[in-house]
């Protein structure tokens, strides 16, 4: 194999090559000025912004932010709520760079409740924080707005008698979901995702795999919850029925308590208050609920008494009224069994049923007969 060698050219070669070099032209002439006709220097302007202002549409920025949060695996219910709030705000404020603190305060003035204004300000602040990260704007106008102060409200909970009435009024197909929410403290969305395979009745535990805080946890169920789940247990499948059936169950539960509207998270508030009053261990109850001890003590400390907690965890569903053949039902027993709910009276009057046994079957299974003429 030959080794390549470098050939050195004599200096005469470079001198000869310069004789054939042509002058290079840039295609334009650089003007030359004398001292008399030189133009005045341009004034120096100090810009207040490091980049030009661009008129970005607020709605486009909202969609970009929602897509970014979906990519970050944020909860879909949070993304939908955020989009619902901000799209309404974008209708009145179409250009993100033209929104000022006065515009935001004028928007917040449309809402009377302190919690509504606090929620709106948080959502709008999220939008402007995202715009700053993407270099669409430089300042957040929400920083100049004073945040409303939220008053500490005592959470509404169910009494032991009301808890029993809610359980009895609920259709049997939805009772397992009610037990997990009311006595175990699961969030409604968590209980709706529980499978029967996640429940161990022998150990008295339920495994929560999908939660709001995205943490896996094992919840120890009280004895009264285990006894209520035993007759409802199945080898596999979903605990909760379809969402439509759950809405119907909430209607019956609201009717049993004579409420026009079902209070949000009232079953979870009830479970947290009675568990804390019963055990007195904020760390243990917080682990069961998937919260922090600070939040638990702030919201639920002292809401329930120990005597009410003992009665709450000893609540057992009363046996159904007897159904002897050849004898008439006692209407008072049926009414007492269902806690005086309106469904009994409506069903009796609508279908003109005088046999309480038939009424008991209808109210228990929620299957209404169809009469043909």
Residue 301 is predicted with a pLDDT of 86
Does position 320 have pLDDT exceeding 50, yes or no? no
Mark whether 309 and 175 lie in a shared domain: yes
Same-domain pairing of 255 and 366 = no
Last residue of a domain, one of 144, 176, 207: 144
Q: What CATH number is given to the structural domain containing 272? A: 1.10.443.10
Structural domain count, the chain = 3
123 belongs to a structural domain: yes
Give the three-class secondary structure for 53: coil
CA distances from 187 to 173, 183, 225, 265, 291 (A): 18, 11, 16, 8, 11
Among 19, 127, 37, CA closest to 82: 127
82 occurs within a structural domain: yes
Which of 346, 350, 345, 352 has the alpha carbon at shortest distance from 331? 345
Q: Tell me the per-residue pLDDT of 52-68, one tens digit each, with 9 for 90 and over.
A: 445 688 999 999 999 99
CATH number of domain containing 121: 1.10.150.130
DSSP 208: E
Q: Which residue's entry shows tokens 């027993």?
A: 333
Is 267 found in the same domain as 174? Answer: yes
Q: Residue 278: which domain range?
A: 160-313
Any domain includes 33: no
Distance, in Å, from the CA atom of 9 to the CA atom of 15, rounded to the nearest integer, reads 11
Q: 334 with 344: CB under 8 angstroms?
A: yes
Q: Judge contact between 321 and 295, C-beta under 8 A.
A: no
DSSP state of 239: S
pLDDT at 2 over 60: no
Q: Is the model's pLDDT at 51 over the cut of 50?
A: no
Look at residue 270 and tell me if it is in a domain: yes
80 Cβ contact list (under 8 Å, min separation 6): none
Do residue 207 and residue 283 come from a single domain? Answer: yes
For residue 200, which phi and psi values (nearest 5 degrees)?
-115, 100
Whether residue 164 is found in the same domain as residue 302 = yes
pLDDT at 327: 42
Say which residue the tokens 């000893």 belong to: 314
pLDDT band at 251 (very low <50, low <70, confident <90, very high): confident
183 vs 38: which has the higher pLDDT = 183
Higher pLDDT, 155 or 354: 155
Shared domain for 256 and 178, answered yes or no, is yes
Report how far residue 96's alpha carbon sits from residue 58's, in angstroms, rounded to the nearest whole number.
5
pLDDT at 244: 79
Indicate whether 6 belongs to any domain. Answer: no
Task: Give the end of a domain, one of 144, 172, 202.
Answer: 144
Nearest alpha carbon to residue 180 among 241, 213, 237, 228? 228
Q: Please compute the mean of the pLDDT values over residues 199-222 and round it to a whole number.
A: 84
Range 244-265 burial, b when 16+ CB lie within 10 A, else e: eebebbbebbbebbeeeeeeee
pLDDT exceeds 90 at position 288:
no
Q: Which of 144, 174, 196 is the last residue of a domain?
A: 144
Residue 12 is predicted with a pLDDT of 47
Tens digits of residue pLDDT in 289-319: 888 888 888 888 888 999 999 999 986 654 5
pLDDT at 148: 78
Total number of residues shown for the chain: 373
pLDDT tens sequence across 73-120:
887 888 898 999 899 999 989 999 899 999 999 988 888 788 888 888
- For residue 271, the model assigns a pLDDT of 93
Check pLDDT > 90 for residue 275.
Answer: yes
Mean pLDDT over the full length of the chain: 76
Contact 217, 290 (CB under 8 A): yes
- Secondary structure E strands in 249-334: none
pLDDT exceeds cutoff 60 at 354: no
Task: Give the phi and the psi of residue 301 in degrees, each rounded to 5.
Answer: -70, 125
Q: Is residue 64 part of a domain?
A: yes
For the chain, give the percent of residues with pLDDT over 90: 28
Same domain (yes/no): 166, 300: yes
Indicate left, alpha or beta for 294 from its phi (over 0: left) and psi (-120 to 50: alpha): alpha
d(CA 141, CA 145): 7
pLDDT recorded at residue 325: 47
Q: What is the pLDDT of residue 67?
A: 92
Distances in Å between the alpha carbon of 15 and those of 12, 47, 169, 290? 5, 54, 108, 86
Instruction: Please report which residue ranges of 183-279 form alpha helices under DSSP H.
Output: 188-192, 223-229, 243-256, 266-279
Q: Is the pLDDT of residue 227 over 80?
A: yes
- What is the average pLDDT across 224-238? 88
The predicted model gives 243-248 an average pLDDT of 82
Residue 224 lies in a domain: yes
> What mean pLDDT do residues 132-142 have?
91
pLDDT at site 130: 93
Q: Edge-to-edge, what's the strand order for the sheet holding 217-220?
A: 199-200, 205-208, 217-220
135 shares a domain with 257:
no
Residue 327 shares a structural domain with residue 287: no
> Does 355 share its domain with 369?
yes
Radius of gyration of the chain (CA): 36
Residues of the chain with pLDDT > 70, as a percent, come to 68
Choose among 140, 228, 138, 213: nearest CA to 179. 228
Find all residues with CB under 8 Å of 218, minimum gap 6, and list them.
Answer: 205, 206, 207, 208
* Residues 271 and 231 reside in one and the same domain: yes
Q: Note whether residue 51 is domain-resident.
A: no
Contacts of 79 (CB under 8 A, 6+ apart): 66, 69, 70
3-state secondary structure of 253: helix
Same domain, 256 and 191: yes
């Amino acid at each position: 194999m030959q080794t390549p060698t470098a050939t050195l050219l004599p200096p005469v070669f470079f001198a000869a090559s310069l004789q054939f070099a042509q002058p290079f032209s840039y295609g334009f002439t650089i003007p030359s000025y004398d001292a008399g006709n030189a133009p005045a220097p341009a004034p120096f302007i100090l810009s207040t912004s490091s980049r030009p202002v661009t008129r970005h549409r607020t709605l486009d920025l909202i969609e970009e932010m929602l897509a970014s949060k979906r990519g970050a695996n944020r909860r879909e219910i949070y993304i939908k709520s955020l989009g619902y709030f901000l799209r309404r705000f974008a209708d009145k404020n179409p250009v993100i760079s033209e929104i000022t603190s006065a515009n935001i305060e004028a928007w917040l003035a449309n809402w009377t409740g302190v919690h509504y204004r606090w929620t709106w300000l948080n959502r709008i602040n999220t939008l402007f924080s995202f715009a700053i990260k993407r270099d669409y704007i430089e300042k957040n106008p929400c920083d100049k707005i004073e945040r409303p102060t939220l008053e500490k409200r005592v959470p509404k909970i169910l009494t032991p008698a009301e808890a029993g009435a809610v359980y009895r009024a609920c259709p049997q197909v939805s009772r397992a979901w009610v037990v997990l929410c009311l006595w175990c403290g699961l969030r409604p969305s968590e209980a709706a995702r529980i499978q029967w395979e996640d429940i161990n009745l022998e150990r008295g535990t339920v495994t929560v795999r999908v939660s709001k805080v995205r943490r896996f946890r094992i919840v120890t169920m009280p004895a009264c919850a285990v006894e209520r789940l035993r007759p409802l247990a199945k080898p596999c499948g979903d605990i909760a029925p379809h969402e439509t059936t759950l809405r119907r169950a909430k209607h019956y539960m609201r009717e049993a308590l004579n409420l026009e509207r079902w209070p949000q998270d009232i079953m979870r508030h009830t479970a947290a208050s009675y568990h804390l009053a019963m055990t007195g261990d904020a760390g243990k109850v917080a682990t069961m609920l998937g919260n922090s001890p600070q939040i638990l003590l702030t919201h639920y400390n002292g809401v329930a008494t120990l005597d009410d907690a003992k009665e709450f965890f000893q609540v057992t569903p009363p046996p159904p009224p007897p159904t002897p053949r050849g004898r008439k039902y006692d209407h008072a027993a049926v009414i007492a069994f269902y806690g005086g709910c309106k469904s009994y009276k409506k069903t009796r009057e609508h279908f003109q049923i005088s046999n309480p046994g038939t009424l008991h079957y209808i109210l228990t299974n929620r299957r209404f007969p169809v009469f043909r003429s």
